[in-house]
Amino acid sequence: MGRIIIYSLLLCLVAFTAYLYFEKSQEDSAPAITVEPPEVKSPQPPASSAPQGNQETVSVQREPVKVEPQNPANAERGAVSSSERERELAIQAGEKFKSGDYEGAIKLYRELSEKDKSALAGLGISYLKLGDHENAERCLEQAVKNNPGDFGVRKALAFLYYRKDDIEKGLSHAEVGLAIKRDQELQRIYDKLRKDKNTQEVSESESTAHFKITFDGYKHGGMSRKVLGILEDAYSSVGKEFGYFPAGPVNAILYTNRDFYDITRAPGWSGGIYDGKIRIPVRGAESNEAMLKKVLFHEYTHAVVRSLTSRCPLWINEGLAEYFSKNYTKKIGQVIPLDLLGNSFSWLTGEQVAVAYRESYSAVSYLIDRHGFYRMKEFLQSLSGGSDLEQAFKGSFGQTYSEFVSTWGKG
């Protein structure tokens, strides 16, 4: 009974909105997608118990509790001590996950998983939040073997394989997940995977050590080589400034204008999006290489920021992308309140969007010019490490986030 209570507490603590693999409310107006950590089940019966039906049982090695045989009360106290330790781990893991301290959550989930394999789900999703796809896949695949009907794990795996561009595995987990529970966000990923599969069936691809390009060879001809060249330039110049290079290849898909807007549902003013993959329309780009370069540098910067943290305010994310892709001759102050640009630009009109991008660039440039680029990287890493926005901003720039957005660029 005590262990059931423990894992119920763990479930309550971690059952909240997480992830993105694909959280595009912060990136180029693509839809926001969340993952709820899957339900943490009660432990399986001991190995000596008879399994029920075809349910798979898991044998877990546990540390022996030292007791004095002549005093049964000591044995009871030892059991309570072990139970309390697991309860403490459950509470701490949930708190660290909630705060965004995924590295801290990983340590606790790992220790908890030694007692019960159902904790692998939380461990895998924490790795997923950090962009550690290899460990996330290992943990989540084991978790789904232990509990094939866990919707949360199926959803997380669909997102993971979407990011890894493994369409078949992503579709497989999405289909099973949707059969368990109708979910709008998972349906959206499923639809994207289906469309990407259809695109790949009539497409070709080229790759380097850092990028993989998927494109329609007949329509785009030699554009892929031009795109790869520009992306490699972005990899070098953006990476050098950040002092950081994403692990693993970044995927990019080239579309005709019609296919791009049909598949991505991007607003008409969007020159491209990054939703775990760089997606850009390329019709007419052959004659406008300068614009193509701006779009690719912009979207690649989003890939770098997302690799560092999923918690970056949108205006900083977009400001950094503009910093590396545009050469504005004029900076502006705070025309649109910055605190309204933290999550989405989708509510803005076309003219307002142009102002929002220039304003974001101006604010980010101010921070970099005043404090140095290394402070911007420090800020992003603090967010990744679990610091709250106010604390991370003040630690890097000397004032709280709220103070900055309420005063910068006014007067």
Same domain, 20 and 107: yes
Query: At residue 170, does pLDDT exceed 80?
Result: yes
What pLDDT, on a 0 to 100 scale, did the predictor assign at position 251? Answer: 87
Average pLDDT, the chain: 76
Same domain, 316 and 282: no
Distance CA 340, CA 284 (A): 34
Distance CA 389, CA 395 (A): 10
What pLDDT, on a 0 to 100 scale, did the predictor assign at position 219? Answer: 63
Q: Tell me the residue range of the domain where 225 lies.
A: 202-307
Same domain, 218 and 319: no
Query: At residue 363, does pLDDT exceed 90?
Result: yes
Q: What percent of the chain has pLDDT over 70?
A: 72
Q: 25-36 in b/e burial notation, b at 16+ Cβ within 10 A?
A: bbbbbbbbbbbb
Query: At residue 110, does pLDDT exceed 70?
Result: yes
| Interval 4-56: pLDDT, tens | 434 433 443 343 333 333 333 333 333 334 554 444 443 333 333 332 332 22
CATH label of the domain that carries residue 150 = 1.25.40.10
| Torsions phi, psi for 182 (to 5 deg) | -75, 125
| Interval 80-93: pLDDT, tens | 456 788 788 878 88
Distance CA 173, CA 186 (A): 10
Q: Between the CA of residue 107 and those of 96, 103, 204, what are the distances in Å?
A: 10, 7, 42
Query: At residue 270, does pLDDT exceed 80?
Result: no
Residue 64 lies in a domain: no
Could you count the other beta carbons within 10 Å of the beta carbon of residue 179?
A: 11
Could you count the other beta carbons within 10 Å of the beta carbon of residue 394?
A: 18
Residue 337 lies in a domain: yes
Residue 30 lies in a domain: yes
What pLDDT, on a 0 to 100 scale, did the predictor assign at position 359? Answer: 96
Distance CA 15, CA 317 (A): 27
Q: Which residues are within 8 A (CB) of 188 and not within 5 positions of it... i.e. 6 or more apart?
A: 31, 33
Q: Which helix (H) or strand (E) holds 247?
A: none
Could you tell me how many residues make up the chain? Answer: 411
Higher pLDDT, 361 or 269: 361
Residue 57 lies in a domain: no
Handedness of CA 371, 375, 377, 379 (dihedral sign): negative
Same domain, 359 and 247: no
The winner for highest mean pLDDT among 30-34, 110-114, 253-257 is: 110-114
Written as six digits, the tokens of 224 are: 């892929």
Written as six digits, the tokens of 201 are: 């069936």
Higher pLDDT, 267 or 232: 232
Same domain, 295 and 315: no
Residue 181 lies in a domain: yes
Residue 60 lies in a domain: no
Q: 107-137 in b/e burial notation, b at 16+ Cβ within 10 A?
A: bbbbbbbebbbbbbbbbbbbbbbbbbbeebb
Same domain, 390 and 404: yes
Question: Could you tell me which residues are beta bridge partners of residue 205?
Answer: 214
Distance CA 248, CA 245 (A): 9
Domain boundary among 239, 273, 307: 307
| Torsions phi, psi for 206 (to 5 deg) | -135, 155
Q: Which residues are within 8 A (CB) of 177 and not within 5 positions of it... i.e. 6 or more apart?
A: 151, 154, 155, 158, 183, 186
| Contact call for residues 12 and 28 (beta carbons, < 8 A) | no
Residue ranges in 102-165 assigned as alpha helix (H): 102-113, 120-130, 133-146, 151-163
Report, in this order, helix, strand and coil percent for the chain, each rounded to 5: 60, 5, 35
Question: Could you tell me which residues are beta bridge partners of residue 212?
Answer: 207, 251
User: In 3-state terms, what secondary structure has residue 337?
Assistant: coil
Domain boundary among 192, 215, 231: 192
Torsion from C-alpha of 87, 90, 95, 100, nearest 10 degrees: 160
| Interval 276-297: pLDDT, tens | 888 887 765 666 778 888 889 9
| Interval 369-404: pLDDT, tens | 999 999 999 999 999 888 889 999 999 999 999 999
Question: HSE (CB half, 13 Å, CA atoms) of 164?
Answer: 19
Same domain, 224 and 188: no
Looking up tokens 């307002």 gives 352
Residue 56 lies in a domain: no
Domain count, the chain: 3
Same domain, 141 and 285: no
Query: At residue 208, does pLDDT exceed 50?
Result: yes
| Torsions phi, psi for 252 (to 5 deg) | -135, 140
Domain boundary among 288, 307, 326: 307
CATH label of the domain that carries residue 268 = 3.40.30.160
Distance CA 68, CA 78 (A): 10
Same domain, 113 and 245: no
Query: At residue 2, does pLDDT exceed 50?
Result: no
Same domain, 177 and 75: yes
Residue 323 lies in a domain: yes
Lowest-pLDDT range, 83-87, 175-179, 233-237, 255-259? 255-259
Q: Which residues are within 8 A (CB) of 23 and not within 5 positions of it... i.e. 6 or more apart?
A: 32, 33, 34, 310
Same domain, 88 and 147: yes
Same domain, 128 and 249: no
Q: Provide the 8-state DSSP code for 286.
A: G
